[in-house]
Structure 1
Amino acid sequence: MARESFDVDRVADTLPVVPGRALDLMNKSMKPVTNFWTTYRQLWEGVLDGTAKREAYQPMAKWVGNNPPFPSRVFREWVTWLYKENRLIKGTLRLRERPVDLGAIEQNLLVVTADSDHITRRPETMPILDRVGSEDVTHLDRPGGHIGLMAGSSAREEIWPDIADWLRERSDR
């Protein structure tokens, strides 16, 4: 499902609350072959050949499937404003009638991106690096997808040590 063609109004007008399971299915529908076939095929092949990483698969599957329900109005605003219109990056997002000014962010900022992320895509993420007011902006780019980056089988060795180092270096500021 292309995000540009997703009819958020139809969903929000039909459901007073969007169930967490529906959110999971919508996200998975953005990459249906990978999410509905490849993942389970690879898991099954791993079981058959003894290479399955159950300790990595189970927490990720639980996390992915544990979306909280969203009130429809919030869902509509979230999808429309942040995904379809990209208001945060364009500088047009308003919350409680006040403009959200990324330039007012002066705190240290760590931006972590994944090269295969289909939900928070790099072209939509990278502009934040130039829009915040912080003098300390760090970008970590790694291989992987939206969830695998932080919760995948290699996340503990690949990305979390770098995040811990970044935090440690700034813990006394």
Structure 2
Amino acid sequence: MATESPLKGLIPELDVEKEMKRWSHLFKVLSEPEPKVGHTPRNEVWRKNKSTLWHYQAKQKKYGIPLFFVYSLFNKPYILDIAPKASVIEGLTNMGYEVYLLDWGSPGYEDKKIGLDTYIEKYLNAAVKRAIRHSGAEEITLIGYCLGGTIASIYTAIAEEPIKNLIVATVPIDFKPFIGPDQWAEGMRNGDINIDGFIDTYGIVPPQLVDGMFRAIGAPIYFTNYTMLLSRAHDQRYVDKWRRMNKWTLDQVPFAGEAYRQLAYDLFKENKLVKGELMVGNKKADLKNITANLFVVSGSRDNLILEEQSKPIMDLASSEDKTFISVEAGHVSLALSGLFAKIVDQWASSRSNPL
């Protein structure tokens, strides 16, 4: 006499045909050529070593003050121009802004001595001057994303160039709060992690290590992307977005050794930016020197940069016009969705000399 299993009804029956289709979709997605990125037309207007300054012309120019993007040294900036109709840069040029983007490029071993101060004084400074001259404008707006926001803030604190507006998003200013393994923070701040030995030996931080760091900090999110793809591989719109995001996530760049050393010691360990003690060459990068109109954007679902890391610049800067907002977005989705373009326009349109 047959008996029914007590587990019947508790474990769903496997739909073999459905599962075969699911895995077939997944293999198809993973075997396709990489998606194209960087759709918005652009022109090279300046180059130094590996770095390039790109100009994106406004579809119909409506503002006299151009936008100048400073992106992070950790990642490639094409996240800002990831896909048609979801591109931050395309959105802003369609709204009437002239846009410039400084692409730092990928440093090689020969660039191991380039420090943060060199990037700021020799690269960013020269690129901003070139953008002002190229645009014919009398002032410029700097927009910094992630570590690019930190660099843009440091530069604005020492710049002699006419920076009217400073916009920073998902920006670390106070490096005391930390998302990631506690042992990392303790080891770095106590000197247990031998950064000097590593940099002196390898010269640059390889992209594989950069990728590993972000995976550890973002866990378990970084480890669930293929699981999410498996469950939604039949959804073409989701797949297209996933493939572009996955390409960018895996496309890490090396980090110049001396720049990483300064980042680790001056910013992360000593927190000199918040203390007003950071030196860039022979200049003190005190954030109280910032008088440009200031706009700070934080993501409520940001799993890398906390709101409390970004907010201190609001008290430290001397700007009379200061705005802070928190939007429902993650660290990357703010740019990936193109939402950032609309947020920038809402604030910058009245501060960019409308024509």
Q: Same fold (TM over 0.5)?
A: yes
For 1:40 and 1:137, locate their aligned partners in 2 and report how far apart those are by CA, in whole Å.
Answer: 41
Using structure 1 for the length normalisation, give the TM-score.
0.81
- C-alpha distance after superposition, 1:4-56 (max 9, x if no partner): 145361542442111223212212211222112x22211221115x2751332
Structure 1 counterpart of 2:222, from 35, 38, 48: 35
For 1:13 and 1:112, locate their aligned partners in 2 and report how far apart those are by CA, in whole Å.
Answer: 36
| AA of the residue aligned to 1:54 | V
Structure 2 counterpart of 1:126, from 311, 315, 318: 311
What residue number does 2:124 align with?
none
CA separation of 1:45/1:22 partners in 2, compared to 1, >3 Å: closer, same or farther?
same
For 1:34 and 1:23, locate their aligned partners in 2 and report how far apart those are by CA, in whole Å.
Answer: 16
| AA of the residue aligned to 1:20 | P
On the 8 A contact 2:218/2:304 being kept in 1, the answer is no
1:94 aligns with 2:279: yes
| AA of the residue aligned to 1:119 | L
CA separation of 1:34/1:18 partners in 2, compared to 1, >3 Å: closer, same or farther?
same
On the 8 A contact 1:109/1:138 being kept in 2, the answer is yes
Q: In terms of mean alpha carbon deviation, does 113-122 or 162-171 score higher?
A: 113-122
| AA of the residue aligned to 1:142 | V
What residue number does 2:233 align with?
47
Structure 1 counterpart of 2:258, from 59, 73, 76: 73
- Structure 2, unpaired ranges of 5+: 1-179
For 2:279 and 2:307, locate their aligned partners in 1 and report how far apart those are by CA, in whole Å.
Answer: 23
For 2:296 and 2:323, locate their aligned partners in 1 and report how far apart those are by CA, in whole Å.
Answer: 6
| AA of the residue aligned to 1:41 | T
CA separation of 1:147/1:82 partners in 2, compared to 1, >3 Å: closer, same or farther?
farther
Structure 2 counterpart of 1:137, from 302, 319, 322: 322
| AA of the residue aligned to 2:215 | K
1:113 aligns with 2:302: no
For 1:136 and 1:121, locate their aligned partners in 2 and report how far apart those are by CA, in whole Å.
Answer: 23
For 2:270 and 2:335, locate their aligned partners in 1 and report how far apart those are by CA, in whole Å.
Answer: 26
Runs of 4+ in 1 over 6 A off after TM superposition: none
- Structure 1, unpaired ranges of 5+: none
The structure having more radius of gyration, on CA atoms, is: 2
Using structure 2 for the length normalisation, give the TM-score.
0.43
CA separation of 1:61/1:86 partners in 2, compared to 1, >3 Å: closer, same or farther?
farther
Larger helix percent: 1
| AA of the residue aligned to 1:162 | I
| AA of the residue aligned to 2:346 | D
| AA of the residue aligned to 1:70 | F
What residue number does 2:342 align with?
161
What SS does structure 2 have at the residue aligned with 1:40? helix
| AA of the residue aligned to 2:220 | V
What SS does structure 1 have at the residue aligned with 2:233? helix
| AA of the residue aligned to 1:128 | I
What residue number does 2:352 align with?
171
